[in-house]
Each structure stands twice: as structure tokens, then as C-alpha cells.
Amino acid sequence: MTSKTKHTQLIKTEAKRLGFLSCGISKAEFLEAEAPRLETWLNQNMHGEMRYMENHFDKRLDPTKLVEGSKSVISLLLNYYPQEEQNSNSYKISKYAFGTDYHFVIKDKLKSLLQFIREEIGEVNGRAFVDSAPVLDKAWAAKSGLGWIGKHSNLLTQQVGSFYFVAELIVDLELDYDAPTTDHCGSCTACIEACPTQAIVEPYVVDGSKCISYFTIELKDNIPAEYKGQFDDWMFGCDVCQDVCPWNRFSKPHKEPLFNPHPELLSMSKKDWEEITEETFRKVFKKSAVKRTKFSGLKRNIDFVKD
């Protein structure tokens, strides 16, 4: 067995031990196929007010510009599918935000993995990325064989669906590379038909500026009045395109205690949400990603979705 293969197996075994669903590896190189797609998407202003998407165009497409001497992109998936649902008479929160903010949870696991690589293999230069730097997470995961990009633009995997986070370690270590998998969306258009705001403008193209997640999390101004009545009770994020996807019938609950929700989150009714105080907000969302929208933002969203 070559040292490259040995190192690859070591990394994948440790990733599994740390609780990751799966681990795929691809060569750190320019993402040729993604460049025109990203450029078109930006030119059509589908990023709305997410101006940060315009920054670091080159770095987004070339990991060697992010990590000097990088040779491999290690992509990892972490399941967040919850055991329990919210109260059926409640305003809805995207499943990924039920528990502790995933940035913290995954960053810790990635740091542990990088530490392990250094201890077992030697001096390796690398950086951990969790959806917070100019890295095209889903493109790398697809290139690494972890799934394909579905018509709703999320990564999909036959065995487990799409309710997982995608993260990377970019390292200056040569490893064995995985091959991409094939697309299994077929003629299904469930996600396109179900999107409450018609944000999936064509298969594989989502107009971010029409997405409920964008309106309820990214948009700082008032939500445009023409979308009143179209939010289907979503007050933070939206899971509709994933909920209707046939592949998500294979989703299994996660085993990460940090992703378990605050008990009050599951039991709160619409009335409770409408009367939420800043104190309750701080208690229920103590370490949650929902804090991104702040108390005032969540109140704005609730006022917009309530009848």
C-alpha cells in the first residue's frame, strides 16, 4: 500500500470516528465547470443583497489561492436531521438551526481531524472551512463523490438524502482522489413545483433573491410586500425543497447531542412565538444559528408570516 493510500484511509477512518456521515477527497484545482455558472448567477443578480458573494471570485474557484501549496480538498458531511419535529401549530424554523450553531460544532471536529492528520502523518499545512469563507462547498463535495447537486441546488446522496452540513479541510498533502457520482434526479420536479416563492427558476438554478431563507436570514430590510402570504409559516429558513425530495425518505436522525433543540423550541405555538420576549429568544436560541437574524429580525419575520 502506498503512503498516499495509507494516509487516505487513516483520514477517512478518523472522519467516521468523529461522527461525520462521509468523507470524500478531490484534487485541489481550479473549478473549471463552476466558473461560468457562478459568473452568470452573479451577473443575473440572483444573490440579491448578499454582496459578499461577489468577493474573492478567484478564491472561490481555486483552493490553491486560499491555502498555499494545497493539493487536496477533503469534503465532509455531517447529518443534522432531527429526531423530533416542531409543534404542528407553530411558525417554522429550518431543521439545521434546531440545535447549537453548526459553525462551532463542525469547526471543532475539523480542528480535531487536522490535529489527527498532523500527529499521524507529520507537518501538514491546512485550513478548515465551514460555510464561512469563499469555498464552493457543494461543488467540492460533488467532485469528491459524496453526492450530486440536485435540481434544488443542494447536495443529494442516494443513501441519506440532503439534510446534512458540508465542510472542508484544504491541505497540502497528496491523497487518493474519489470520482464524482452520477445525477439521480431523473425527471422528478417535486422541489421546483413545491417552492412557495418559485425561487427555483429552472432545474439546478435557484434565484437566491427569491428564496425564503434569503428573506428571513440574509435580507436586512423589510421583506417585499408582494411575497405576503407565500411563506407557508416559515420564520427562519425554509426546508420545503428538501422536505418534498423523494431521496429524503432515507434521512435518519442525527446522533450529535449538540444538535438537539432546546425543549421549548419544539413545544412553542404560533401564539407563543407572536408574544416572544427578548429573554425567551436568548434562552431558546442561546447558541443557535437563529441568533444571526437577531431578536428584531425574528420579530420582523413573525409579523410578516402571521395572518
Task: Please say whether the structural domain 3-171 has been given the CATH code 3.40.109.
Answer: yes
User: What is residue 212's predicted lDDT score, i.e. its pLDDT?
Assistant: 98
| Cα–Cα distance for residue pair 108/151, rounded to 1 Å | 31
User: What is residue 63's predicted lDDT score, i.e. its pLDDT?
Assistant: 93
Residues designated as active site: 131
**Which pTM was predicted?**
0.94
Which residues of the chain register pLDDT less than 50? none
Query: Position of cell 427558476?
Result: 201
| Cα–Cα distance for residue pair 24/48, rounded to 1 Å | 32
Give Cα 253 to chain centroid, integer Å.
17
| Cα–Cα distance for residue pair 3/5, rounded to 1 Å | 5
List, for residues 268-279, the tens digit of each pLDDT value: 999 999 999 999
Domain ranges of the chain: 3-171, 190-246+261-305
Supply angle C-alpha 104, 108, 111, rounded to 5. 135
Cell (9 digits) for 234: 416559515
Sequence-distant (6+) residues with CB within 8 A of 202 are none
Beta strands per DSSP E along the chain = 22-27, 72-79, 92-93, 126-129, 148-149, 155-156, 164-171, 200-202, 205-206, 234-236
List, for residues 204-254, the tens digit of each pLDDT value: 999 999 999 999 999 999 999 999 999 999 999 999 999 999 999 999 999
User: What is residue 224's predicted lDDT score, i.e. its pLDDT?
Assistant: 96
